[in-house]
């Protein structure tokens, strides 16, 4: 379970489906703060490749999760800070951190 509680990223998209139980899923915001999601049965989550995340159990300590990756190699987790230099992290930052809209105030 330690691999899930450690902050990590994957090279490609990860899809999670909660088939039973509940728990907490955390993702990093643009300004590097944690955003917590409370997940329960029936929830589906899509995590972009290169996005740091982690998972923890709640007080019930029970969850059943199915995870899908596009390729077997994408299953590999890169913990922070080792993932910082991974090409997936660089792509994620380019796609999701640099897309602020410029507002023309004319
Ligand atoms: Fe993961």
Q: What pLDDT is stored for residue 103 in this prediction?
A: 56
Q: How far is the CA of 99 from the centre of ligand 1 (A)?
A: 24
Q: How far is the CA of 8 from the centre of ligand 1 (A)?
A: 6
- In CATH, 2-96 is 3.40.228.10: no
pTM of the predicted structure, to 2 decimals: 0.85
Tell me how far apart the alpha carbons of residues 3 and 74 are, in angstroms, rounded to a whole number: 14
Per residue, the 3-state secondary structure of the chain, as one string, reads: CHHHHCCEECCCCEEEEEEEEEEEEEEECCCCCEEEEEEECCCEEEECCCCCEEEEECCCCCEEEEEEECCHHHHCCEECCHHHHCHHHHHHHHHHCCCCCCCCCC
Q: What pLDDT is stored for residue 81 in this prediction?
A: 95
Q: What pLDDT is stored for residue 30 in this prediction?
A: 86
Q: How far is the CA of 101 from the centre of ligand 1 (A)?
A: 29
Tell me how far apart the alpha carbons of residues 95 and 106 are, in angstroms, rounded to a whole number: 27
Structural domain spans, the chain: 2-96
From first to last of its 106 residues, the chain has per-residue pLDDT tens of: 545 789 999 999 999 999 999 999 999 998 899 999 999 999 999 999 999 999 999 999 999 999 998 887 778 999 999 999 999 999 999 988 766 555 566 6
Q: How far is the CA of 105 from the centre of ligand 1 (A)?
A: 41
């Amino acid at each position: 379970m330690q691999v899930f509680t450690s902050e990590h990223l994957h090279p490609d998209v990860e899809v999670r489906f909660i088939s039973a139980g509940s728990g907490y899923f955390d993702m990093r915001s643009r300004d590097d703060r944690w955003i917590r999601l409370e997940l329960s049965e029936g929830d589906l989550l899509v995590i972009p490749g290169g996005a740091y995340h982690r998972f923890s159990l709640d007080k019930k300590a029970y969850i059943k999760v199915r995870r899908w990756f596009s390729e077997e190699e994408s299953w590999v987790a890169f913990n922070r800070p080792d993932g910082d230099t991974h090409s997936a992290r660089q792509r994620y930052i380019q796609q999701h951190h640099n897309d602020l809209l410029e507002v023309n105030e004319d």
